[in-house]
Amino acid sequence: MSQTFLFFEQQARDTEQAAIDAKHAAKEAAAKARAEAKRKEESEKLSRRLAREAAYRRKHPPGFAQCGINWYPAGSGWTHCHKCGQALIYTTDRDAKPRECPGRRP
C-alpha cells in the first residue's frame, strides 16, 4: 500500500532528502580530497627519498679498490695506492683478485 502526501508534506520530505544528499556528497568530496592529499604527500615523500638516495650514491659510489692489503672505498678520493703509487682500479666484483703492492721503490 503506498502512502500519498499533501503538497507541502511532499515538499518538506524532498527538502530533507536534498539536505541529506548534500551532506553525503560533501562527505564523499572531503574523503576524496583527503585521499588525494595523502597520495600527493606520499608521492612527494618518495621523490625526496629517491633524491636523498641519489645524492648519497653520488657521494658514496659502490665499489672498492685493493692494492695488496690496502682497501680503498669508491669515492674516497684515492686514485693511487698510498704505499706503492700504482693507479687504483675500482670494481664492484667481490671475486676480483687483489693486486700486488710492491711497496715504495728506493
The boundaries of the domain holding residue 41 are: 1-58
> Per residue in 4-16, pLDDT tens?
888 888 888 889 9
Residues 46 and 69 in one domain: no
Residues 64 and 54 in one domain: no
Residue 95 in this model has a pLDDT that exceeds 90: no
Residues 89 and 68 in one domain: yes
SS3 content of the chain, % helix, strand, coil (to 5): 50, 10, 40
Residues 102 and 68 in one domain: yes
Please, are residues 98 and 66 in contact by the beta-carbon 8 Å criterion?
yes
Residues 20 and 34 in one domain: yes
Report pTM.
0.48
Domain count, the chain: 2
